[in-house]
Amino acid sequence: MISKKVLQAIEFDKVLTRVAEYAVLDTTKLAVLADVPEDTYECALTKMRYTVEADRLLFTHGVGQVEFFDAFSDEFDRLRLHATLSMKSLLRFARLLRSSRVTRTSVLGVQDENITLIKDLVLGLYQDANLEKEITSKILSEDTIADNASEKLYQIRSKIKRLNVEIREKLQSFLHKENAKYLQESIITVRGDRYVIPVKAEHKSAIKGFVHDHSASGSTFFIEPEVVLELNNELKTQTLLEEAEIDRILAELSDSVGAVQVPLMRNIEILETLDLYYAKATYGYKTKSNPPKLNKNGWVEIKKGRHPLIAPEKVVPLNIALGKDYKFLLLTGPNTGGKTVSLKLIGLFSVMALCGLFVPAAEANLSFFESVFCDVGDEQSIEQSLSTFSSHMTNIVSIVKQVNGKSLVLIDEIGAGTDPEEGSALAMAILEELLDKGACGIITTHYQALKEFAFRDERIENACMEFNPFTFAPVYKINVGLPGSSNAIEISKRLGLNKAVADRATDHLSGRKVAFEHILRKAEESRKLAENERESLEKTRREAERELEILKTERANLQKERERLSVSAKAELRRMVGERLYEADEMLAQIKEIFESKQLDGGDVINASTLRNRLENLKFQSESEAENRPEYTPATFEQIKVGAKVYVFSMGTEGEILSFNHKKKELLVGVGQMKLTLKAKDVAILQVKKQKEKPKRIQPVSQAKDVAPVKQVATEINLLGLRVDEALPEVDAFLDQAMMGGLEEVRIIHGLGTGRLKAGITQHLKGHPCVKEFRPGRYGEGSYGVTVVKLR
């Protein structure tokens, strides 16, 4: 159990005050301020799990916080007595029902297997949408009930409205007749829920009716004329009936709420609990905190921990560890250097973790401590006539009596406030006792004897608050392994102390003290220089790693580009071969069809001759390309020269040798904008062939001199690369020429691509007057990249 005094000493109450600001419900704010650390490890773990789940719901899944509802006072006591609740109280229950419904729906609607505790919690929420709707539809505000709250109330209020209108009309008529001369003013007013008119005192007997009131001066009497007496009576009756009906409706609603008062009380507890963890999660989010790990081993490790009560722009992150290699940390250094803040930070983080709060640190592994003891600051007690030292020692004695192996001990300036020699000896004895009992903690001191003791005992480690060794200004960082120097004289000089006085103070120091302080100062200077060098090397390493990553990325991009070009080149080659094969097959089929005909005329001969010429031309082009295609020979080291043209096998394209590394047997080859590092076996040397003269073409001559030459009509059209709107006019012109040329079947080459061109052409052919039927190309005809059309 951690005492309230300790919690105040480490300023945990101030942290809770900030957490309470994020609670929605007023009752939750009070619960946050009353929160205490858990006294078992399992309960502390459960609290932390609740906060982690609340954080996921709020900031991962976007679930809203608990909807506000007013705190209840005596409403449940009235329900137990079957009393009727006011409209205000009933609306409070409606808001409670709504908050319960919305919370239950929003949490259970999240699909996340990591959220179990809060889902189990909200499953206990009672929801009654019908009762909620009944209350909010019948009660419009804290003092207004709806006309349609019941049929009877609607009828009563309708009659009241009619009576009001009728009474006013009668009185208005009464005012404008000869009675107007008896009136103080021509107005209608109300006295005691009845309509009256103001009559001059001297004429009160002239108006027959009932006197309800008179003015303070006695000059005006308020009279209810006989003409509206019965109507006023009826209005009063209806008003009483209205009040009775409202009471009945409220009683009925109160009974409905009273029937579920037990689950509603449970709802309040659940919503307050959930609001509590939502507040803790929101505090963690706002302070950029993280959930700490919890252990039972007495280990504490904090990386980049920030004190939650120091402004973010001023706080300096700290790294602190204890419990594994050493049980205690002896923290030394100059005043105002941050020793006390660091000491409180350990205690504060430990207590926050036991309450399920995230801690403002990059990482934190905190131990579950059964007890935390703290002696910080001036504990002088005037009431008990205790001096600072007496109060300090009274607290220390109490700590030594209660401490055990599962305690965290935080002592600021141990043994201070008395003779330095005796205080040092006393501090050492107390520290030995704490170590023997297996406790864990931090102690701050200026005593040199304790610094030396920490060098001898492996259970305690020296540490100091870092300062600039040249300016003696504190930097608020902990340096573990070396004790710190108080630097009182140097700091006093920095604050303006006369140099002569400071030098005189230095002369009064013992030689041993001066030597020890000098060693510490030199050690700190050397450590600082080494730290600067390490940071410089670390910066260089990070830059080198970044450069390496950039080079790896560029290399990967080049590899992808090479593969893309290779695939593209192969695809183009396949397309060209396919087109040539298709043309050849088509022409052979036409020639065969002509010569299989039983009767040949002059036109058939010309057509066959033309097809043969086209076939020869196709063959000639292929042979010409083959003749002009560069030849490659395997690369040898003798042939490899800078500037030589090579064929790159992996990319199927040509390149140029830019350089050659004889030692590694590697070539640097430029391919377009790319530069590739290749082995000799990856390339071939380009051999340029001499151009041969093209053989002269022999034009076929028809032996039938009486047959006129026939104009050749194209049997196919290639639309590759055109848009739909560009291709359709080409199709129309092609089909017209084919019809005029007497062709029965033609081919339209459109390719596959995105499919838009093919779809557009297909749709266009469906209603074309020249088209009899059409179909996709078969295997060998171009497949689905071609449409074969039969003409009418």
Specify the pLDDT at position 377: 65
Closest CA to 106 of 140, 66, 163: 66
- How far apart are alpha carbons 613 and 18 in whole angstroms? 95
Q: Which of 36-50, 222-236, 641-655, 761-775 has the lowest mean pLDDT?
A: 641-655
Indicate if the pLDDT at residue 616 is higher than 80: no
Give 592: exposed, middle or buried? Use CB within 10 Å, 0-12, 13-18, 19+. Answer: exposed
* pTM score above 0.75: no
Closest CA to 132 of 165, 171, 167, 102: 102
Percent pLDDT > 70 in the chain is 77
- Find all residues with CB under 8 Å of 256, minimum gap 6, and list them: 131, 134
User: Which among 95-104, 227-236, 399-408, 541-550 has the top mean pLDDT?
Assistant: 95-104
Residue 25 to residues 21, 92, 96, 99, 719: CA-CA distances in angstroms?
10, 13, 11, 11, 73
Closest CA to 595 of 609, 581, 585, 608: 608
Indicate if the pLDDT at residue 369 is higher than 90: yes
Specify the pLDDT at position 520: 56
Specify the pLDDT at position 707: 39
**Average pLDDT of the segment spanning 188-206:** 79
**Average pLDDT of the segment spanning 31-56:** 95
CA torsion 185-189-191-196 (nearest 10°) is 70
**Average pLDDT of the segment spanning 182-192:** 75
Q: What is the DSSP string of 397-429?
A: HHHHHH--TTEEEEESSTT-SS-HHHHHHHHHH
Residue 503 to residues 446, 509, 562: CA-CA distances in angstroms?
21, 10, 76
> Which uninterrupted H or E stretch holds 141?
strand 139-141
User: Which among 141-145, 276-280, 674-678, 720-724 has the top mean pLDDT?
Assistant: 276-280
Contact 270, 133 (CB under 8 A): no
Specify the pLDDT at position 254: 96
- Find all residues with CB under 8 Å of 741, minimum gap 6, and list them: 711, 713
**Average pLDDT of the segment spanning 33-62:** 95
Specify the pLDDT at position 585: 67
136 versus 651: the higher-pLDDT residue is 136
Specify the pLDDT at position 471: 54
Strands (E), 604-724: 631-634, 645-648, 653-661, 666-671, 674-679, 683-687, 716-718
**Average pLDDT of the segment spanning 13-31:** 96
Strands (E), 256-359: 293-295, 300-305, 318-322, 328-332
Contact 188, 171 (CB under 8 A): yes
Closest CA to 163 of 83, 268, 81, 235: 235
- How far apart are alpha carbons 504 and 527 in whole angstroms? 29
- CB atoms under 10 Å from CB of 516, counted, come to 17
**Average pLDDT of the segment spanning 655-682:** 79
302 versus 682: the higher-pLDDT residue is 302
Cα Rg of the chain, angstroms: 50
With cut-offs at 50, 70 and 90, classify the pLDDT of residue 708: very low
Task: Give me the phi and psi of 528, to 5 degrees please.
Answer: -65, -40
**Average pLDDT of the segment spanning 97-103:** 96
Q: Which of 120-134, 278-292, 350-364, 535-549 has the lowest mean pLDDT?
A: 535-549
- How far apart are alpha carbons 68 and 102 in whole angstroms? 11
The DSSP bridge pattern shows strands 440-444 and 653-661 to be unpaired
Strands (E), 398-549: 407-411, 440-444, 460-467, 474-480
**Average pLDDT of the segment spanning 162-190:** 77
With cut-offs at 50, 70 and 90, classify the pLDDT of residue 96: very high
**Average pLDDT of the segment spanning 143-161:** 94
Indicate if the pLDDT at residue 573 is higher than 80: no
325 versus 558: the higher-pLDDT residue is 325
Specify the pLDDT at position 604: 61
Closest CA to 437 of 421, 420, 419, 459: 459
With cut-offs at 50, 70 and 90, classify the pLDDT of residue 365: very high
**Average pLDDT of the segment spanning 660-675:** 77
User: Which among 562-571, 611-620, 655-664 has the top mean pLDDT?
Assistant: 655-664
**Average pLDDT of the segment spanning 24-33:** 96
Indicate if the pLDDT at residue 567 is higher than 70: no
Give the distance from CA 301 to its chain's centroid. Answer: 27
Q: Which of 14-18, 434-438, 455-459, 626-630 has the lowest mean pLDDT?
A: 626-630
